[in-house]
Amino acid sequence: MPIPRVRRALLTVLGGLVLLGMTGAGVGCHAFSAPVYRGPKSDHFNGEHFVNQEPRQRRMSFFDWQLNRDQGPWAEWTEAPAGAPPPRRVPRGSLRVTFVNHATTLLQLDGVNVLTDPIWSERCSPVSFVGPKRVRPPGIRFEDLPPIDAVILSHNHYDHMDVPTLKRLAEQFPNARFFAGLGNKAFLDSKGLPSVTELDWWQEVQLTPEVKLVSTPAHHFSNRGLSDRNGTLWTSYVLQGPSGVTYFAGDTGYGKHFRQVREKFGPVKLAVLPVGAYKPEAFMEVVHVSPTEAVQASVDLEAKVSVPMHYGTFNLGDDGQEEPVTELRRAIEARTEPKPEFWVLGFGEGRDVP
C-alpha cells in the first residue's frame, strides 16, 4: 500500500478513536489515558468507576450510527472578527456572560472572573494533526481576556479539558485557580497545572468571602484513553454570590440533576446550557441534551435567562453547524407556558444579566 494511503488510513483510525471517546461509544488510545480516582465508595462511585444517578441505555450502537450517518452541513471555515474585549471586572451584584466558543464562556460576577471549559486550540484531540478541527476562530482573542480568577472544568474530554489552553492560562494568569471533578488533579498536576482543586458533587469552595463555587451532578462520562473510562468525575457547577445563582451545565444528558439544582439553590438567574452534538438522538441522548431538552432544563431550573453553548465550533455529531440554534428557537416557539428566555449570543458577544 502506498505510504500516503497508509497515512490516510492511520489518520482515519485515530480520528475515529477520538470521536468514539468524545461520544461515549468507546475509548481513545491507551497511551493517552489519564490517572484514575481511588477513594471511598459513594452513590456515584462504585470503587472502580464513577456512575450516573440514572442508568440509561442507548437505542443505537456506534457502528449502526456510522453506517447510517445523515450529517447536516458544516462550513470548512467561517471567518469572523473577534468580539470586543470584555470589561476587566463587573461590580458586586452584577453578572455578565460572554460566549467565546463551544463550551467556553466567560462568567463575570461580583468582581470575580470565571472561565468555563476553555479551548483556544485548533483541534480538540490528543494530537495536533488529526481529530475534530475548529471551523471558526474563538469569539474572544486570548490576548483580550481580563484577569482570570477561576477556571472550571466539567470533565476530561479533549473538547472540554484542553491542556494547551490550560497551560497558556496558567502562564498568563498565575493567580488563577483550576477546578475539576474528583480524580482529575493527578492528570492536571502531571501537565504542570498549578492550583488544581478537585471537587465531588455537592462539594463547595469559596472563591471570595461572598462568592461560592459548588460542584453539582451531571449525566455524562469520562476518559482520555483506553484504560481510564469513567475513572474521573464529570460535573456541572453553581456559582452563588450577591449577583444570584449562575449555573454552568458542562456536558450532559437530560436528567433529574437540573431539578436537584433548583431545589437546593432556588431559581437560577443565569443557566449556561449545551445544545449541540445531539444527533442522532438514539445514540447521543444518553450524553448530550437536545435543544428541546435544553428548553426543559431551563424550565426545571426556573432560569431567568439561559444561554446556549456547545455548538457551531467543532463537528462532533450529525447536527449541522447552525441546526442546534435553529432547533432551539423552534422548541421555544412550540412551547406553551412557562416559556423560558434564551439569549443566543454571537461568538464573542457579552451581555449583562439584569
Domains located in the chain, CATH noted: 95-352 (3.60.15.10)
* DSSP helix/strand/coil, 249: coil
Question: How many C-beta atoms surround the C-beta of residue 121 within 10 A?
Answer: 18
Largest separation between any pair of C-alpha atoms in the chain: 65
Residue 354 burial by CB count (10 A; 0-12/13-18/19+): exposed, middle or buried? exposed
Q: At CA 272, angle to CA 339 and CA 104, rounded to 5?
A: 150
pLDDT of residue 18: 53
Q: Which residues of the chain have pLDDT under 50?
A: 1-17, 26-29
Please list the residues that pair with 216 across neighbouring strands.
236
The total number of residues shown for the chain amounts to: 354
The one-letter amino acid code at 9 reads: A
Query: What is the per-residue pLDDT for 128?
Result: 82
* Tally of CB atoms within 10 A around 174: 9
pLDDT of amino acid 6? 43
pLDDT at 196: 96
**Cα-based distances in Å from 205 to 198, 287, 324, 327:** 10, 27, 34, 36
pLDDT at 293: 98
Question: Whole-model pTM above 0.85?
Answer: yes
Q: Is 183 within 8 Å of 224 (Cβ atoms)?
A: no
Q: Tell me the C-alpha distance between 265 and 218, whole Å.
A: 16
User: Can you tell me the distance from the alpha carbon of 238 to that of 213, in angstroms, rounded to the nearest whole number?
Assistant: 6
pLDDT value for 349? 98
Residue with cell 453539582: 216
